[in-house]
Amino acid sequence: MTTLLSRKKCGILGATGSVGQQFILLLANHPFLHLHAIGASERSAGKRYKDCVQWKQSSPIPGEHEGLVLRACKAENFKDCDLVFSGLNSEIAYELEMDFVKAEIPVFSNAKSYRMNPLVPLVVPLVNPAHLGLINFQREKLGLKKGFLVCNSNCAVVGVVVPLAALQAKFGPIVQCEVFTEQAVSGAGYPGVSSMDLVDNVIPFISGEEEKLEVEAQKILGSLNGSATEIDAQTDLRIGATCTRVGVTYGHIAYVSLRFKNHPGPSVRQVEQAMMEYQPELLKFGVSFSGPAIKVFMEEDRPQPRLDRNISNGYTVSVGRIRDGGKDGHFDLRFAALSHNTVIGAAGSSILNSEIAIIKGLI
Ligand SMILES: NC(=O)c1ccc[n+]([C@@H]2O[C@H](COP(=O)([O-])OP(=O)(O)OC[C@H]3O[C@@H](n4cnc5c(N)ncnc54)[C@H](OP(=O)(O)O)[C@@H]3O)[C@@H](O)[C@H]2O)c1
């Protein structure tokens, strides 16, 4: 299907940051997205990408992108793009992204600014692409023809909601979930957390992260109503979270304990099977990622960030340590989930969301 699509010109806002650099890598040789324009702050505008960026990736800047000249992130500078991806900091994103949308440029955002806005789909492509159905109503409300805004979730949320979606599809509602995370330093952007704070240490707090995990998961796992005007959040799923920062470059681990509504809950074997067989709706669209959505590890010391974060180029969520909640315990099930925070946790999700929107004829 993808080979029949005409190429779309895309831009990246915040192209020099952690998320922006991942966009630069993932858009190289893309089958139907052509990276046409890149933007960053006024400090960087006018300079060639390779002369300006503090490149922190383990593979080199793709040759086709290294000579692109950075533009200031103003909507009038990106009028020649069919869509833009945003890796802007949330303080800036709030105003700038809406300027782009009002200029009729579709925006796929990684910032938190509009994630909980009732008009904005919050889409983890491996879970809820159907929420893109809200776009027509958003356009109607904002008086737009071509522009719209789609957000993807906080990077720690992705590793949790993908396995939860697989479990709920097979075993019915989950009513309670307790999450403990160990999050990579790149999740704080560059230069992020000082090495003096991070080496030989764990930081037991990430500002705002626990609240995001609790509410964003409910919205993502909710459903679009019949008139496609609202997302009904899954509010009867209670989530508690503790988020920590550790000295890992890429890859967030979430340790999840949960309770199903229906008892008795599934066996460990049934859970492993359900996760291995999970076929997200996204795979029906013929996007550039063909799965698996979840890789299940039977080894008791996996997944590990360094070994497993790059499975399927960082698009697959790895799950391991699946075990029952313990005799007479409060929870039915426990597991660990690893996700690449700048691929499926950020840029990769935005790219897949845009691919679905293109295939659905929304762009
Ligand atoms: N890192 C992750 O794992 C992750 C995951 C999911 C979501 N997010 C979210 O994604 C966004 C980007 O995160 P990040 O980690 O990539 O941040 P970052 O490394 O700090 O990068 C920020 C980018 O924004 C640009 N910028 C800063 N001020 C600007 C301005 N006034 N006008 C235009 N551009 C400006 C910077 O350009 P200059 O180089 O010119 O300063 C840089 O390209 C944030 O909202 C973050 O919460 C991050």
Listing from the earlier edge strand, what are the strands of the sheet with 294-296? 238-245, 174-183, 252-260, 333-339, 317-324, 294-296
Q: What is the pLDDT of residue 337?
A: 98
Q: 8-154+346-360 architecture in CATH? A: 3-Layer(aba) Sandwich (3.40)
Protein residues whose CB sits closer than 6 Å to any atom of ligand 1:
14-20, 40-41, 43-44, 73, 87-90, 92-93, 110-112, 155, 186-187, 189-190, 341-342, 345-346
Q: Tell how far the Cα of 93 is from the centroid of ligand 1, in angstroms.
A: 9
Please provide the size of the chain in residues.
363
Q: Please give the pLDDT value at position 2.
A: 52
252 is catalytic: yes
User: What H or E segment, with its residue span, contains residue 160?
Assistant: helix 155-171
Q: Crossing angle, helix 209-220 and helix 155-171, to 10 degrees?
A: 40
Let me know if 151 is a catalytic residue: no
Gap between the Cα atoms of 203 and 243, Å rounded? 9
- Is the CB of residue 342 less than 8 Å from the CB of residue 22? yes
Q: Give residue-wise pLDDT tens across range 306-345.
A: 999 999 999 999 999 999 998 888 999 999 999 999 999 9
User: Percent of the chain at pLDDT above 70?
Assistant: 99
Please state, in angstroms and rounded to a whole number, the distance separating the CA atoms of residues 18 and 151. Answer: 17
Beta strand pairing status for 83-86 and 317-324?
unpaired
Q: How far apart are CA 69 and CA 271, in angstroms?
A: 49
pLDDT in tens, the chain (363 residues): 555 678 999 999 999 999 999 999 999 999 999 999 999 999 999 999 999 999 999 999 999 999 999 999 999 999 999 999 999 999 999 999 999 999 999 999 999 999 999 999 999 999 999 999 999 999 999 999 999 999 999 999 999 999 999 999 999 999 999 999 999 999 999 889 999 999 999 999 999 999 999 999 999 999 999 999 999 999 999 999 999 999 999 999 999 999 999 999 999 999 999 999 999 999 999 999 999 999 999 999 999 999 999 999 999 999 999 999 988 889 999 999 999 999 999 999 999 999 999 999 999
- What is the distance in A from the centroid of ligand 1 to the CA of 88? 4
> Please, where in the chain does CATH 3.40.50.720 lie?
8-154+346-360
Is the torsion defined by CA of 39, 45, 51, 52 positive or negative? negative
Give the pair of three-digit tokens for residue 258: 């949960």
Catalytic residue among 52, 155, 177, 243: 155
User: What's the confidence (pLDDT) of residue 326?
Assistant: 82
Instruction: Tell me how crowded residue 184 is: count the other CB atoms within 10 A of its CB.
Output: 26
d(CA 215, CA 210): 9
Nearest ligand 1 atom to alpha carbon 341: 3
CATH 3.30.360.10 residue ranges for the chain: 157-339
Determine the 3-state secondary structure of 107 from DSSP: strand
Contacts of 138 (CB under 8 A, 6+ apart): 119, 120, 121, 144, 148, 149
Quote the pTM value. Answer: 0.97
Q: How far is CA 241 from CA 25, 123, 160, 176, 215, in A?
A: 31, 20, 11, 11, 11
Residue 249 corresponds to which tokens in the numbers above?
Answer: 């470059």
Q: Which CATH architecture has domain 157-339?
A: 2-Layer Sandwich (3.30)
Per-residue pLDDT tens digits for 112-166? 999 999 999 999 999 999 999 999 999 999 999 999 999 999 999 999 999 999 9
Cβ(350)–Cβ(314) under 8 Å?
A: no
